[in-house]
Structure 1
Amino acid sequence: MLEHGGRLRQAALHYGIAESAWLDLSSGLAPWPFAIPPIPERAWARLPETDDGLEQAACLYYGAQNVLPVPGSQCAIQLLPRLRRSGKVGVLSPCYAEHAEAWRRSGHIVREVMDQEVDFYLDTLDVLVVVNPNNPTGLNLSPERLLEWHARLAQRGGWLVVDEAFMDNTPDLSLAAETWRTGLIVLRSFGKFFGLAGVRLGFVLAELRLLKLLAEQVGPWAVSGPTRIVGQACLLDTANQALQRERTALASGRLQRLLGLHDLLAQGGCALFQWLITPHAERLYDFMAQRGILLRLFTSNSSVRFGLPGDEADWLRLEQALQAYTQVSTKGVS
């Protein structure tokens, strides 16, 4: 299995620091989870029903005609490659590593491309996978550019798969409303923006025919009854959605400024994280971890991703650790 952020228990064991003592900034989740509504006993006692209003709430929230709830968008990432014969797949990289891995495991030929290379390779591809906004770089591609790529792929029966896991803060840039188009598939993550990764919920937005094929792969009762209740309540909670957008945007800007004050200039980011490339990424990661602050390290391009602190005590703790790192770095001591 690929490495991911959020492996707090492993870090606690490695550094000898109790789990409860950590500030976990590794997973790119909103640090303010939505309130859990009361879960009636029947949700635990009965198999989940698919006419409980979750799909309608998701269509309303995303502005899409059709949605398929799945137990986390990771499920869809792994199953989508099964719906096509082996072919050539482009993955806009660097990005969430599970995309390329899933297509490779299903026997497809995968080429990882940068955004400026897409136009050159696109007509040789059967599928193009894009994470928008990108994780971890924060690159945001315009809907117009993505729809142009989709049109070129669709002419040959190809797909454009857009992972919008970090799109909730900028819904005007989403392609959700365009997923009536054949060959356009949008993945949405629930846990990141709503701060509830543990419920394991995601949505696939696409034309109905493709969703039916994917549903056969997912199988029945994939999303639990309690999860469906939580998901519907949060998707309809417009007041807290507006609050979440405001405070995540403010916190992301504050984080970018804080890093800059310590000569750690973020090369990218979005409302839920900031990302920077540095030749000292491993040293920075280890320095913070020794102080109980967990970051997301990417060794392939020597970079780190900072998630958002949740309260003033967390901000102070991060600031003090950054000050200590700056002092040590200035002295040239590792």
Structure 2
Amino acid sequence: MEHGGDLDRAMARYGGLGADWLDLSTGINPHAYPLPSIQHSCWQRLPSAGALDGLLTAARRCYAVPASLGVTAAPGTQAIISRLPTLLPSALQDCGVAVVSPTYGSHAATWRRAGKRVEEISNPFALPEDCRVLILVNPNNPDGRLIGVKSLLEIADRLAERDGLLIVDEAFADCMPGASVLALAEGRPVAVLRSFGKFYGLAGLRLGFLAGPAWLTQALQRSQESWAVSGPALAVGTAALSDTAWQSKMLSRLADEMADLNILLHERGLTVFGGTPLYALVAHPRAAALHEALAKRRVWTRIFDYAPTWMRLGLPGGAENLARFDTALREALEEA
């Protein structure tokens, strides 16, 4: 699957300005972290090593990264995904790669572009014989499938027997406490991607993290240009990752709003069969027609070529937007 949020395409086809649209196509928190006051020097000077160290210290604490593992930052997890195939040691250069699918299409595409043998599998426990690198998104997008930490560690141990590597994309783990494998990854071949923009609602900031074996995080750091993460991103990221009070309140708010959305969807006859606190996955026999009918009403959703009955819906972001979506949905269901 591709990322949502392509409002330009929606406006080009259905009209309107950005402010006219209710964008439910992304899994980004509609309640962004309040931007702290940033020193003017962050805009005037190159990012300092001290500011980067402060960000990584905050990330290590927030994500419960064991002391023996490395952690480094990049301008978004997509920047990390695109580099991962080039960071492997020579012993892993000619191995098979498996991606648990369906999920973000960029994972398989990146490894294929690097010339790797990539197999997309549905069962992470059924490792192909030549697989030494396994990539999975947990919780998964778009269905919210969650593999428990104990099971992830068992998979990692199997890959360790092959001198392999488990790569876990935890883009949505911030809003599901207990989902992350990081705290127990010490001594295992596990690398974890963490996205900043989704839970904190600041995707435009472009900030992401890689945590795992020191050889891998150091290789990523060496592969990046100097000052890869901007000074403002360092400042905002450090503040947000350290703000445990905001994180706790937001977890409760997202849970409440997702419960309201699920109730509305059930009342309108849609089957909710997956998701996270940031998006719901529903089934409709004519999802493409419903998607178009909603778009005519300036509501943008996410549908999938490989699953014609699926539709993913992000949080509307409050009671007023939920009511607007309800009106549009009732009309769109009649039309579709």
Scaled to the shorter chain, the TM-score interval is over 0.9
SS at match of 1:127: strand
Amino acid at match of 1:83: L
Distance between the aligned counterparts of 1:319 and 1:129, measured in 2? 37
TM-score by length of 1: 0.94
Unaligned runs of 5+ in 2: none
1:305 corresponds to: 312
1:263 corresponds to: 269
1:5 corresponds to: 4
2:194 corresponds to: 188
Percent identity between the aligned chains? 40
Verify the 8 A CA contact 1:90 1:113 in the aligned structure 2: yes
2:287 corresponds to: 281
1:47 corresponds to: 46
SS at match of 1:173: coil
SS at match of 2:251: helix
Verify the 8 A CA contact 1:93 1:114 in the aligned structure 2: yes
Partner deviation per Cα, 1:59-81 (whole Å, 9 max, x = no partner) = 11000033111111111111111
Partner deviation per Cα, 1:138-187 (whole Å, 9 max, x = no partner) = 00110011110111101221110000000012232211213433420000
> Offset at 1:38?
1.1
Verify the 8 A CA contact 1:88 1:124 in the aligned structure 2: yes
Q: Aligned pair 1:107/2:111, yes or no?
A: no
Partner deviation per Cα, 1:222-275 (whole Å, 9 max, x = no partner) = 100110000000011111101110111111122122111111111100010001
> Runs (4+) of structure 1 moved beyond 4 Å?
none
Distance between the aligned counterparts of 1:60 and 1:123, measured in 2? 37
Partner deviation per Cα, 1:295-320 (whole Å, 9 max, x = no partner) = 11212212211000112211011111
Distance between the aligned counterparts of 1:182 and 1:143, measured in 2? 13
Q: Aligned pair 1:92/2:100, yes or no?
A: yes
Distance between the aligned counterparts of 1:271 and 1:51, measured in 2? 34
Verify the 8 A CA contact 2:27 2:279 in the aligned structure 1: yes
Q: Aligned pair 1:322/2:329, yes or no?
A: yes
| Superposition map of 1:1-334 within 5 A | 3-52=2-51, 53-65=54-66, 66-84=70-88, 85-115=93-123, 118-302=124-308, 303-328=310-335, 334=336
Partner deviation per Cα, 1:37-96 (whole Å, 9 max, x = no partner) = 111121111111232211100111000033111111111111111123132111111111
1:331 corresponds to: none
Distance between the aligned counterparts of 1:261 and 1:223, measured in 2? 45
SS at match of 2:307: coil
Unaligned runs of 5+ in 1: 329-333
SS at match of 1:168: helix
Distance between the aligned counterparts of 1:167 and 1:278, measured in 2? 27
Distance between the aligned counterparts of 2:274 and 2:334, measured in 1? 25
User: What RMSD, in angstroms, separates the aligned Cα atoms of the two structures?
Assistant: 1.4
Amino acid at match of 1:315: L
TM-score by length of 2: 0.93
Verify the 8 A CA contact 2:2 2:104 in the aligned structure 1: no
SS at match of 1:304: strand
Verify the 8 A CA contact 2:101 2:120 in the aligned structure 1: yes
Amino acid at match of 1:64: V
Kindly tell me the number of residue pairs found equivalent between the two proteins. 326
Distance between the aligned counterparts of 1:255 and 1:74, measured in 2? 29
Verify the 8 A CA contact 1:29 1:192 in the aligned structure 2: yes
Amino acid at match of 2:106: E
Verify the 8 A CA contact 1:127 1:160 in the aligned structure 2: yes
Verify the 8 A CA contact 2:153 2:185 in the aligned structure 1: no
Distance between the aligned counterparts of 1:218 and 1:247, measured in 2? 36
Amino acid at match of 2:20: A
Distance between the aligned counterparts of 2:189 and 2:174, measured in 1? 22
Verify the 8 A CA contact 1:165 1:192 in the aligned structure 2: yes
SS at match of 2:227: coil
Verify the 8 A CA contact 1:176 1:186 in the aligned structure 2: yes
> Offset at 1:3?
4.1
Verify the 8 A CA contact 1:77 1:102 in the aligned structure 2: yes
SS at match of 2:194: strand
SS at match of 1:112: strand
Verify the 8 A CA contact 2:14 2:295 in the aligned structure 1: yes
